[in-house]
Amino acid sequence: MARRLGLHQEVLQVNVWRGNASGGKHCHYEVPSLESQTILDVVTWIQRNLDPKLSYRFACRVGMCGTCAMMVNGKPRWTCRTHVRKVLDNNTLTIEPLRNLPVIKDLACDMSEFFDKWDRAQGRFHPSKTRSDDVVRIPPTSVHRTQVDAAIECINCAICYAACDVVQWNPDYLGPAALNRAWTLVNDVRDNNQTVRLRAVSSDAGCHNCHSHQSCTTYCPNEINPTASIAGLKRATAKATLSGKI
Amino acid sequence: MIGVRLYLAQRISAMIMAPLVLIHLVTIIYAVQGGLDAAEILSRTRGSVVWGALYALFVLTVSVHAAIGLRVVSHEWLKLRGTGLDVLTWVVGLGLMLLGGRAVVAVIM
């Protein structure tokens, strides 16, 4: 393959995990190194030129949809916005499916449990108004709104979930993304389901299991701080418990 | 594996323990400055309601705090679940309370 790419073409050594839920192994590929190349470019090049059966998932290619996350050299990354030259280790890339999620095939994971946990954390908006009511005006500088300025930017890429050691140790744990979502709604003054939500995030699989390792914060591509959101939930649930509300 | 009540119990027990540990350390460092043996220590602690209450509270908070902490570790590292996890939590908590209580009685009475 190196010869096919030309004598003067720099070549990346790429190991891609291939398999399904019952197991798999790393397959080796040689991929031409290009200027401003992303990890998603590498995976796409392999599929188009070397192995059309390679399965992976992507959509927008510009860091908005949160679809293309994978493990790159052992760390969870959004592959469409991760430049090869920034993560290359000894001219080698190892690309694997996201940690903590069941594999469907190759680099494509089953996200069902990830989104089911959103539901279990009451990550759904429950309106308190009808269409006949006036629109609620929320000042951008209000305490509740500023507390979730960053948290509402989550793109559901599951990178935080893959980075979380507590999810690995305790698969029932709701995880940073679902709890971050719950925190945005706890601060939504229009929501009408706060007691149920605080109870949901106080369950045996809830926010109190977080050890504040901050891996979610370290790897979040949108620079959100889910650990801070979870700390907010811990405070809110502690106050609600001590005051007898939940 | 831990909900809000166990979380609060562990945090509150830690808040109580922190000053008790400081009192304990400062007292022993101060008390042994001029040399001190077991008989002298016992002569000061026996019959003391204050030392009895202080160490009884310490034993109680340690039992609660350690039992919840080991519950978390056992769940995450030993994969203990359900009834087994509850039994371990209670055995550790009550065991520490029993052993610590025995030590407090020996020093105070």
Locate the domains of chain A by residue range.
Answer: 11-109, 112-242
Distance from C-alpha of A229 to C-alpha of A121, rounded to nearest angstrom: 13
Q: Which two tokens stand for residue A176?
A: 């940073």
Do the Cβ atoms of A204 and B2 come within 8 Å? Answer: yes
pLDDT digits (tens, 9 = 90+) for A196-234: 999 999 999 999 999 999 999 999 999 999 999 999 999
Using pLDDT thresholds of 50, 70 and 90, give the confidence band for residue A92. Answer: very high
Contact residues, chain A, for B11 at CB < 8 Å: 238
pLDDT digits (tens, 9 = 90+) for A166-201: 999 999 999 999 999 999 999 999 999 999 999 999
The DSSP element (H or E) to which A169 belongs, if any, is helix A165-169
Contacts of A37 (CB under 8 A, 6+ apart): A83, A84, A85
Count other C-beta atoms under 10 Å from residue A130's C-beta: 6
Do the Cβ atoms of B76 and A166 come within 8 Å? Answer: yes
The position carrying tokens 């009511």 is: A133
**According to the model, what pLDDT value does residue B34 have?**
78
Do the Cβ atoms of B8 and A246 come within 8 Å? Answer: no
The DSSP element (H or E) to which A162 belongs, if any, is helix A159-163
pLDDT digits (tens, 9 = 90+) for A100-118: 999 999 999 999 999 999 9
Q: Which residue of B has its CA nearest to A199?
A: B4
Is residue A2's pLDDT more than 90?
Answer: no
Architecture of domain A112-242: Orthogonal Bundle (1.10)
Using pLDDT thresholds of 50, 70 and 90, give the confidence band for residue A163. Answer: very high
- Name residues of chain B where pLDDT drops below 70: none
pLDDT digits (tens, 9 = 90+) for A134-147: 999 999 999 999 99
Distances, alpha carbon A128 to alpha carbons A133, A134, A194, A208, in Å: 10, 11, 11, 28
Residue type at position A135: V
Burial tier of B102 (Cβ tally within 10 Å: 0-12, 13-18, 19+):
exposed
Residues above pLDDT 70, as percent of chain A: 97
Q: Which two tokens stand for residue A105?
A: 């095939």
Residue type at position B72: V
**According to the model, what pLDDT value does residue A4 have?**
55
Pick from A170, A205, A238: CB nearest B4: A238
Pick from A170, A205, A208: CB nearest B7: A208
Distance from C-alpha of A204 to C-alpha of A197, rounded to nearest angstrom: 14
What are the structural domain ranges in chain B?
A: 4-108
Distance from C-alpha of A66 to C-alpha of A77, rounded to nearest angstrom: 10
How many helices and strands (H and E) does chain A possess? 10, 7
Pick from A170, A204, A242: CB nearest B3: A204
Architecture of domain A11-109: Roll (3.10)
Measure in Å the smallest separation between the Cα of A204 and chain B Cα atoms: 4
Q: Which two tokens stand for residue A214?
A: 């901050």
Distance from C-alpha of A232 to C-alpha of A181, rounded to nearest angstrom: 12
Class of CATH domain B4-108: mainly alpha
